[in-house]
């Protein structure tokens, strides 16, 4: 999965979480767990699509900016998170089944090729590991930063209001020779009354806690595109976004159908002399295929991290051929 990548670590993307976008929120319970308390062992940002999710997380914000990863990354990125094992590393979820409706512990290990728990990581965006949870219907989303015990066991607490099938992603870079950024994924069953939702309607505007975020730009298979998120509050542009994990925003894209994970790279970084703190935050990404994607954008303002979610469809990659009237799209000759 490394091919063609430039710099970047998935991490660039990870920091997201979410609120949900319009149309969906009303159907979801706003139940959520706050992990922002001082005694919480790990933080939880991002929340269900209910649009209310967010937790302030001052500890994550300033001073954790990462330098090595990605602000200028680009190029095609293959989909991540589809494999539980890759490059000799395996995501071993010790709690593969949890209950919905109340906070529950999640524990997992990253094992090396010899089965030993990995304890050496390279930090990205201020963290050794970013954990993303998403329901397979892409309505529920969490971006968590678990804590690691000396023996390598990672743990956190999460409250998921809705039962269903979830995918868990661990985004990390082993601090080993040749170690590269990996996103491993595995399944999590959340027990309870499950009411499946239908396909998510397209949405380019999301509201969360009084903020309205709009998405401009399109995804295209195999071609890098710029996506621009604009944040307003009460009709006014927000021009004092705060850095969150080293950027003015983080974006994670998940593909409908298989929940493939894509990292998306910020177009600039706080303090680089050219990136304003809002109202626009731009990202560059290349969709691995045509199809529907759910985008989760995290931003920080007034000390709290909030998440806005969107649903977009990536166009097939042969648009230029189309424009030339040569036909394409798998129609062959």
Point out which residues pair with 91 in neighbouring strands.
110
Q: Would you give the binding string for Cu ion spanning residues 77-116, x where CB under 5 A is met?
A: ----------------------------------------
Q: How far apart are CA 328 and CA 133, in angstroms?
A: 36
| Residue nearest Cu ion by beta-carbon distance | 130
CA quadruple 318, 321, 327, 331: dihedral sign: negative
CB 127, min distance to Cu ion, A: 5
Q: Applying CB under 5 A, does 253 fall inside the site for Cu ion?
A: no
Stretch that binds Cu ion, among 15-23, 209-217, 224-232, 268-276 (CB under 5 A): 15-23
Give SS3 for 192: coil
Residue among 93 and 314 whose Cβ is closer to Cu ion: 93
**Window of 13-21, 41-49, 286-294, 304-312 that interacts with Cu ion by CB under 5 A:** 13-21
| DSSP 8-state secondary structure symbol assigned to residue 256 | T
Task: Give the interface size with Cu ion as a residue count (CB under 5 A).
Answer: 3
Residue 263 as a binder of Cu ion (CB under 5 A): the answer is no
In the complex, minimum distance from the CB of residue 14 to Cu ion, in angstroms, rounded to a whole number: 4
- Under the binding rule (CB under 5 A), the answer on residue 15 touching Cu ion is yes
> Which is closer to Cu ion, CB of 126 or CB of 161?
126
CB of 16 to Cu ion, least distance (A): 8
* CA–CA gap between residue 219 and residue 206 (Å, rounded): 18
Cβ closest to Cu ion, residue 24 vs residue 252: 252
Q: How far is the CB of 246 from Cu ion (least distance, A)?
A: 10
Bridging pattern class, strands 97-99 and 182-191: parallel
Strands (E), 127-263: 129-135, 141-145, 147-148, 154-158, 164-174, 182-191, 205-208, 211-216, 225-233, 236-237, 250-255, 261-263
CB atoms within 10 A of CB 302: 12
Number of residues in the chain: 333
**In the complex, least distance from residue 295 CB atom to Cu ion, rounded to whole angstroms:** 16
Binding part of the chain for Cu ion, among 23-31, 126-134, 201-209, 264-272 by CB under 5 A, reads 126-134
Whole-number Å distance between alpha carbons of 141 and 306: 12
Does the protein bind Cu ion through residue 28 (CB under 5 A)?
A: no
User: Of residues 14, 50, 231, 264, which one binds Cu ion by CB under 5 A?
Assistant: 14
Q: Name the residue nearer to Cu ion (CB basis): 130 or 136.
A: 130
Give the containing element (helix H, strand E) for 323: helix 319-323
Single out the segment in contact with Cu ion by CB under 5 A; choices: 10-18, 40-48, 157-165, 222-230.
10-18
Residue 15 or 138: which CB sits closer to Cu ion?
15
Q: Which of 47, 122, 130, 220 binds Cu ion (CB under 5 A)?
A: 130
Whether the bond between 194 and the residue before it is cis, its omega within 30 degrees of 0, is no
- Give, as ranges, the residues between 172 and 201 that touch Cu ion (CB under 5 A): none
Q: Is 127 helix (H, G, I), strand (E, B) or coil?
A: strand
Q: Which residues, 6 or more positions from 216, have their beta carbon under 8 angstroms from its beta carbon?
A: 204, 227, 228, 229, 230
Site residues for Cu ion per CB under 5 A? 14-15, 130
């Amino acid at each position: 999965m490394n091919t063609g990548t430039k710099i970047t670590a998935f991490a660039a993307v990870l920091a997201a979480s979410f609120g949900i976008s319009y149309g969906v929120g009303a159907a979801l319970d706003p139940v959520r767990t706050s992990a922002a308390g001082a005694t919480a062992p790990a933080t939880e940002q991002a929340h269900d699509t209910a649009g209310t999710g967010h937790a302030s997380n001052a500890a994550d914000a300033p001073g954790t900016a990462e330098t090595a990863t990605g602000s200028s990354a680009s190029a095609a990125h293959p989909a991540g998170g589809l494999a539980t094992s890759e490059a000799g590393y395996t995501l071993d979820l010790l709690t593969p089944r949890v209950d919905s409706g109340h906070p529950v512990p999640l524990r997992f290990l990253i094992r090396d090729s010899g089965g030993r728990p990995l304890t050496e990581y390279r930090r990205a965006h201020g963290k050794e590991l970013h954990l993303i949870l998403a329901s397979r219907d892409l309505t529920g989303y969490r971006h968590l930063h678990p804590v690691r015990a000396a023996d390598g066991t990672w743990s956190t607490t999460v409250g998921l209001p809705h039962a269903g099938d979830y995918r868990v992603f661990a985004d990390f870079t082993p601090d080993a020779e040749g170690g590269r950024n990996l996103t491993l994924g595995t399944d999590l069953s959340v027990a309870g009354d499950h009411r499946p939702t239908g396909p998510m309607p397209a949405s380019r505007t999301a509201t969360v806690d009084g903020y309205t975020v709009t998405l401009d730009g399109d995804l295209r298979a195999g071609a890098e595109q710029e996506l621009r998120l604009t944040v307003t509050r009460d009709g006014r542009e927000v021009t004092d976004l705060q850095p969150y994990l080293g950027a003015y925003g983080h974006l994670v894209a998940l593909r409908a159908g298989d929940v493939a994970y894509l990292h998306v790279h910020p177009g600039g970084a706080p303090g680089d002399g050219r990136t304003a703190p809002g109202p626009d935050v731009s990202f560059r990404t290349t969709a691995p295929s045509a199809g529907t994607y759910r985008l989760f954008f995290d931003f920080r303002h007034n000390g709290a991290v909030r998440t806005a979610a969107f649903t977009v469809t990536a166009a097939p990659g042969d648009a230029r051929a189309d424009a030339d009237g040569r036909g394409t799209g798998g129609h062959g000759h």
